[in-house]
Structure formats: structure tokens, C-alpha cells
Structure 1
Amino acid sequence: MSDLKQMYRTILGDQFPEEMRITFGDQTLVYRKRTWKIRDETTGEVQERGVRYGENPDQEAALYELVNGNLVLGDCAYITPGNGLVSAISEADMLQAGKHPGKINLTDIDNSLNVLKFLMDRPAAVIVKHNNPCGVAYGDTIESAFTRAFRADRIAAFGGCVALNRPVDKATAEAIDELYVEVVAAPAYEDGAVEILARRKNLRIVQIRRIERLAEYWDRRFVDFKSLIDGGIIVQQSPVNRVRTREDLKPAECEYQGKTYRIRRLPDEREYADILFGWAVEQGVTSNSVLYVKDGATVGIGTGEQDRVGVAEIAVYKAYTKYADRLCHDRLGIPYKELELKVAKGERPREEKDEIDRQVQADRGGLPGSVMVSDAFFPFRDGVDVGIRQGISAVVHPGGSLRDWEAIEACNEADPPVAMVFTGQRAFKH
């Protein structure tokens, strides 16, 4: 165990070359390995190092930035050099290296930006853990955006990556400093903010200079590689979110056995806003996924499940769990799990927990009035029924199932009726 602890503190090093070239027919992309000059945590010596390690501390890893080549395949021109975000982080951008960043830290920042690029019209915050959003929110200020994102899931935010689309001011820095996170990424830091964040010596404080231009990355495609255990590679285009405005959404409608089924109610203005917000967040969630959003913030996020009704139920469970934790912290100043333990040991009165549990059930985990978002169609109505029982007011999903009519009927039969729109586009992410 002591050896493993030491591995976590060690920069593994790597044997990957300084330059990498990938050739597509007669076109070549050139990549340069990204390294940073850092001070060794043990010796104090300044050394040049790349990525700390891969997904685990015994895996070598390297980060490469695209520096040359303009790839065009068919009618698709892929992203060109000079547009680096995470791959372009320099020593100057590493305002505090903390524990030198590893692969997971970098990919968490990257997926945060993948969500933020759709949310640039207002102050927004994304908190990512293990490459999945755990809390995403808009705010009137960047501080309120962060606070709302954090309160969406106080539990999973522990040790996460915080990405913000506006400069960090002192108030936001103080709010972040109240919890433990691994990374903070933002376009800039106002006077005094870095000093506040730097109270945590292991925190990685990173400036991403192009965050204010993230909206330009909305429809830029890159080449997406997936390596196989036999050394083979699957190559695909990166996805493009085609839903920009409410006009890109279609009222739910389908035909089945000669009968046309239409949704009875369309979303109102608030629901349309949450649908667009939720579909943006969905782009960064591992499939199969279902999430619930309300008033520009996530309520419950279900990720990476094998069946759609199951992930809809998991997202409900998470909403209830996070709501209980939030109530407990607001009322008693401790996490809900700590309250459970203290009650079990007889150190706190059971009535405290019972009252919180009653409130969570009465409020249905804050789900009533939320929008249900699914990255693919519902193969049966059972998934939609999960959300309807919790009081959702609208559903958005791609459509295209042979049983779309069942989901439409479920919404029409609800009291009050639930709105439903189709995106016409799937958002799987594996």
C-alpha cells in the first residue's frame, strides 16, 4: 500500500516521441508533445516533464498538440493548428501546477470545455468527475453559476474539475476554496483570486486562454480515435450538436399502424430554455444517459447504463440523494451520509434524519417541473413514465423509435399533460 501511495506522488515519465505524425492518404497531421518545466515535489529540482501518468499511476502517457497539417476528407475540413485549448496549456498558463496534471485531469478539463462551448451566452460552470458532468449551471454571475453547479451535486463534486466561462473573481475563488477540487480552469483570474485558490497547494490552477472563444468550436470537427486491444484503431468524425435554437426542435409526432400520434402540449418558454440547456449538457455525458434539468441547472444525471429505463431511475435516485445532502448541509452543516452514521451510532437524534427524509419525499428530490433529457430515443414508454411519476413537465429526445407513439401517449395521458420535442439527432458518447 505504501508503494501505491508513492506511485500517486510520482511523475512516471514516458517513452513517447517528441513528435507524432498521422498520415491520411497523402495528407499528414503533425503533433508536438507538450511538456512543462516544473519543480520536483521531493527534491525541489526544476525538471521538464510531460503528463504525470495515464488513467492509472503505472501507465505512461503523453499529451500532443496539433502543430501542422490541414486535413480535408470529402466535404469535411477538420480543425486546424493554432486552435489549441488543453493541448496548448503552457507553463505561463499553469498558474499553480499543484500535483502535476495527469491524463484524467486533462481529459476532465477537455470534457468541461466540450459542454461549456454550448453555454457561452451566460455565466456558466461545469464540474466534471471521471469525465462526466456532475453539476452544470447557469448563473447571474460566475460565482452564482459555480454555487448552483456545486449544489446540484455536493457529493460528486469532491475531487472534481471546475471549469468556468468567465474570469474568476475573489468571491468565486472564496466559494471554490470551501471544497476540495483537483483542477480549476478559467479564461482569466482577477486580482487576488489566485492567491485565494493557492491556499490549497495541490490544486491545479489553469488558465485556458481561448475559453472566451469557445462558441467558435461548436461545429468544428476533429478526428476521434478509439484504439482496440489488438492494436487496431477505429476512426470517426467528432459529433456536432445541431440543436442551437428552439426552431431546431420538432414537436413529437409519429405514425403507427396508419394512425398519427401528436403531442398535445408544446414546451413553454422556460421549458424550451431548459431543453436547450439540457441538450447541451447531454453532449458531455457518457451513454446510455438520462438527465433532469430545471431553471438552468442539473438536478440529476444518470450516466453510462445499459438500459434506458434503468438510467432514468438512477437519475431519479441521484436527484433524491443529492437533494437530501443539500437539505442536510443547509440545516445541520454536515453531509447527509455523516448524519446517517451519527444517527446509527446514537450521536444525533433520529428525528433530524427523519425530517429530512420526509422533506425529500414530499419535494420528490426537487424533480417536479424539471425537463427530462435522453441522448437516444425511448424504446418503450417505461422510461418516460419514470420521469412523469416524478412530476417532470417536458421531455426531449431524438425520436425515431418504432414505439415513439407509446412515449407520446404517456405524455398526453399525464395530468397535467407533459410536453415533448424531438431533436432528430442522437447524442451517444462512449
Structure 2
Amino acid sequence: MKRSILLAGILGTLLGTLPLQSLETGTSIGLGVVSFSEEKTGETISYQLLALRPHLTAGKFSLGLNLEIHYRFTGGDGQDFEIREEDWNPRGEMNVLELYLPKIDYLRYGQKGDSLFLSLGSFSDATLGNGFIMESYSNQLFRPERPLFGALFDLDALAVGLPYGGIETVVANTAAWDVIAGRLFIRPLGGMNLPLLSRLQVGGTLAVDRDPYYHVQKQESPQNPFADKSTPDPVIIWGVDTRIPLVEAERLRLAVFGDVVNQDDRLGGMVGTGGVLRAGPLGILYGGQLRLYEDNFIPTYFDSSYDRRRVERFRVYDGDRDVKGTLGWLARLGFSSAQEGLRFVTTMSGPFEDGTGVGPDLQSTLTIAEGAFPGFPGLSFSGTYQTFDLAKPADILEAEDTLLGIRLNIRSGPVVISLVTDLRHDPLAEGDPWTITSGLETTIAF
């Protein structure tokens, strides 16, 4: 109750600042076909989609709803028409808040990077500090079957004219408050007239997973051997970090940074550098890290695939699976166009030595915004490919231990046609470890 009162208080304060004269409203209707993995049997079933998505914007405030009905024609025995009950009727371990809060697709005030920023709903890129504890965390990995309603809240002292620090917070699911994280940072030289040193940051981060078995206890298929186990002790991770910008020029940005992190009395540290090099119309994105960590320490514990690999991570954290401490590395390379219309980034990380019990991980993302390609003004695309524990280079092309997500949009006037595909492999699943969902949708905006 206290948590709900706190969120309502923040929201009420922001609503009181709305410039109602700038209110803009709109609605879109979605029609399509979506496939789901049936919870009890694991069978893939296709449903028709009818969605109503009203939205409004007033100044920095924006609100969008996502009201979907999935139905299918079954035929025979008088059962000709069926609505997917899981969308509107709480079943099994699902409670009312978990089911109905995600009908609010987003509720935002400001943008990431503003002095005051609040976002409620789904998100895909939550990062705290340098990312050695949490980087690109997403609460969207179980959509469309189980969307989550999370919260991001950032407050920089610059909002009140003070350049000395701020806070960043993440809540993965406000209906469960399972994954919670926050970072407090200061700019010790913020009041000095020093172009770069005044932006020096020193921060402290605390991240907690109160229920590592949360998602496997919610799903019925694929079965997970840990689904029936009692809730274990929480994961508690904390650390300190610093970041120093060295170059902030038109064609070159360069920063150095470092972290020291504690995971259940196991230590890990990192020093790194990264930035952007402008070369004509493109920006070259680069970064590298050296990592040193003790046995069973996991760098970037809360990463972009965390909710799908939550039990695997906890087995290492809890000591059920042994991973040898060692010296590790991370390399990142990519490019983006001047207006971020085209962006590609590949990140690879792992240990320098073999025999640690874990192999390198690879993640690649590609984003194409509308208008990025001349001649195809209505085309947009987003895709992510992740593969884990690579034993040899050829494993990059193997489907096991992978997550793949693709969304292709084609716009013509107010009409958008979208093709969505997600492929997931669960190495701990009992039975079929594959989950594949796909959909084809036409959206008409008014």
C-alpha cells in the first residue's frame, strides 16, 4: 500500500504541472494474428487480434493504453468462438494487478536524460551507472503472453539548480516488486568551472531480486525443475562506480570508468573506456573493459536477457553451479547515423582462459528508424540476437542457448503493417525447450 501511495503521489505532482492547452489525443486500432505457446501443453495456438490503443500527450506528459482481445474460431460442438481468457481472467499464479496494470502501455513524464524523468509500463533498456551491475535490463521478455508494468524514476539535482548529484531507480514489476535497483551519484566537482572534471561522477548502486524463481513459477510450459521450489533467499548486489569524461569534442567523445561490486561476499571489478568517433555521416561506437572477479561472480548480473536466464544466474550466485574466477574482457563495436536513424551494435564478453565453466556471450542489435533508407520512407526494423556460453566460433550460428527478437514495420499513411517474431531457448526446461511466438498486425491510426 505504501508503495502505491508513493507512486500515486509522484504521479499527482506531475499531473498538476500539465499544460492542458497543449493536450493532444489519438487512437489506433490493431488487427492481426498472434501465436501463443499454450501454458499447459506447450502447443502453439494462433489467435486473431483486435486492439484499441488510445493515447494522449500534454507537454512532457504522455499516456498510452493497450487494450487487446485475442480470439479464434474453433468450429464444431457449438464452440465456434473463443476469447483467450488469460488476457482478462487471472489464472493460476497470476493476480489482478499483474494482469490489469499492463493494460497501461506507458505513462511517462519527460525523457531519459532529463533532470526529472518518470516512466511506468514496459521498458527495454534500463542501465544504472556503467552497467557492471545492471545494463540494458528489459521487462519485455515475456510479451505478449505476460506483459509487465514496471517503473523508472530519475531525479537529478539540476532540476532545482544544483549540479551535485542525483538518483536513478528501476522497478521491474510494480505488481510484484521482485527486481528493484537504485543508484545514488554525486558530482564532487560539480560546482567548479571545469568543463570536464565538473562532470566527474561517483556513485553507489544497490540491486535486489527478491524472488529469483518468480517467472518459472508463473509459467506452466515449458516446465522448469525449479518451478515448485520455495522462494530462495534474495539476490543482493551492491557496488561503487566512477566515470570521468576525457574528451567531449564534436568528432570524438571518450570516457574512462570503473566499478567494484559485491555479490554475496564475492568481489568483482572492472575498468573500461568507451565513446563515439564521428566519421562523416556515421558515428563509430566503441568500448572495452578489463574485468577481474572471484569464483561464482557474474559481471552485469541484470542484463538484457536476465528475466529469461534468471534461474541460471541464481544457480551460480547460490553455488549450485561452479564458475571459476578469472580475468575477463568485454569488447563493443558498432555504428550509428547522425540522427540515430540507423544503429548497429555488437557486444561480446567472456573470460580470457578456458575451463572456467562458462564461455563467451554475444549480443547484436540492429535498429532502423523510418526515413533512414531513401526510397523506403515507411520502413522500420528492430532486431536483437543473443547467444551464450560459446565453446567455439561456429556456435554463433547454433540455435541452442539463444534469444532472437525481430520486428519489421511498413507504414503507408496512417496504416502500419508489423511482423513480429520471438525465439527463445531454455536450457533448464523439462521437455521441449523452445518457445516461439510470432504475429502479423495491421494498425490504423486516427
Q: TM-score, normalised by structure 2?
A: 0.26
Q: Which has the higher strand share?
A: 2
